[in-house]
Amino acid sequence: MSGYSFELVNVFAEERFGGNPLAVFTDASGLDERVMQLLARQMNLSETVFLFPDGEAAARLRIFTPGQELPFAGHPTLGAAAVLHWRGELEARFQLRTKAGLIPISHSDGVYTLRANPPSARAAGLSRGQAAAMLGLDEEDIALEPVWVDTGSEQLLIRAASAGAVLRARPVHALLLRDATLRPGRSVAYLWHEDGGVATVRLFFEQQGAVLEDPGTGSACANLGGWCAFNGLGPLQWRVEQGAALARPNVLHLQVDAAGEILVGGRVLRIGRGEISL
């Protein structure tokens, strides 16, 4: 029987029991895709990340939700970065390899920051009224037609007319499946509003027949940066607040520089550790 150690951390956490929980398997050598998926289902967190040696980067990451593998996700990438950095073997800047490519990481004053891939975007073909119906809102609660944005993990972005509209949203399962499905098994919508440099956001996704909400989503924050870059809102520095509806506060730091580069950061807190026997 082999033992596989993991660390439990909270990413985007400003307080001990805030943030988005993450399990980081620090040496996943010997685990195959089937077992990693089963372990992610066992952990039953938004994502679980598995670390493998890499000749160029500090580690190669495999990122799994309870239902599928993702090419990239922000909170597993930053959580893995923190766990590796805590070992004291890395400088303040290093890289991690994901299925979406190499992701540059930096650390300063307790904040871990990733530089996202260049964004792409495409029309969703949804009206404001359709987006509102999907989210259980009125048409006037939606500021613009939705758009798909991709900096490593493609998601449907919907700009709300107010922070109150973001917090009132109650997605309709059947309409989320119809209007926010990227591919079978991947339906996701990110609702956001910004005022005075503070963005209020929520991310909804479908999993095993239910609509769930993610406490803190780095990949969607990066996609928000991509949306801002495409729409000429940079350079900017925003505080992105997520998780309020779950009583699980997350704080993400979004920057878009003058060249359009997108940076997403947050704090990571160590919660515990353990070992799985296989």
Of 67, 88, 109, the position where a domain reaches its end is: 109
pLDDT classification of 208: cutoffs 50, 70, 90: confident
**69, 199: one domain:** no
Residue 199 lies in a domain: yes
Q: Which residues are catalytic?
A: 47
The whole-number pLDDT of residue 89 equals 85
Query: In angstroms, rounded to a whole number, what is the distance separating the alpha carbons of residues 150 and 163?
Result: 23
C-alpha angle with apex 206: 238 to 201, nearest 5 degrees? 15
Query: In angstroms, rounded to a whole number, what is the distance separating the alpha carbons of residues 255 and 260?
Result: 9
Nearest CA among 196, 176, 175 for reference residue 186: 176
Summarize the confidence of residues 55-59 as an average pLDDT. Answer: 95
Summarize the confidence of residues 64-80 as an average pLDDT. Answer: 96
Residue 11, pLDDT > 90, answer yes
Residue 1, pLDDT > 90, answer no
**73, 197: one domain:** no
- Number of domains the chain contains: 2
Identify the domain containing residue 30 by its residue range: 3-109
Residue 115 lies in a domain: no
**23, 86: one domain:** yes
Nearest CA among 211, 207, 216 for reference residue 248: 216
Which whole-number Å values give the CA distances from 263 to 5, 167, 221, 226, 254, in the listed order?
30, 25, 9, 10, 6
**133, 78: one domain:** no
Pairing of strands 111-115, 101-108: antiparallel
Average of per-residue pLDDT values in the chain? 97
pLDDT tens readout for residues 238-264: 999 999 999 999 999 999 999 999 999
Residue 19 lies in a domain: yes
Look at the block and give the residue holding tokens 């066992």: 42
Residue 176, burial from CB neighbour count under 10 angstroms (0-12, 13-18, 19+): buried
The whole-number pLDDT of residue 129 equals 98
Question: Which DSSP letter does residue 152 get?
Answer: S
**139, 94: one domain:** no
Of 63, 84, 109, the position where a domain reaches its end is: 109
The pTM for the full model equals 0.96
Identify the CATH number of the domain in which residue 57 sits: 3.10.310.10
The whole-number pLDDT of residue 46 equals 94
Residue 9, pLDDT > 80, answer yes
pLDDT tens readout for residues 178-198: 999 999 989 999 999 999 999
Question: Which DSSP letter does residue 128 get?
Answer: H
Residue 62 lies in a domain: yes
Q: What region does 232 belong to: left with phi over 0, alpha with psi -120 to 50, or beta?
A: left
Residue 226 lies in a domain: yes
**187, 232: one domain:** yes
Query: In angstroms, rounded to a whole number, what is the distance separating the alpha carbons of residues 222 and 62?
Result: 19
Residue 76 lies in a domain: yes
**127, 223: one domain:** yes
CB contact burial 114-143 (16+ within 10 A = b; e otherwise): bbbbebebeebebebebbbbbbebeeebbe
pLDDT classification of 51: cutoffs 50, 70, 90: very high
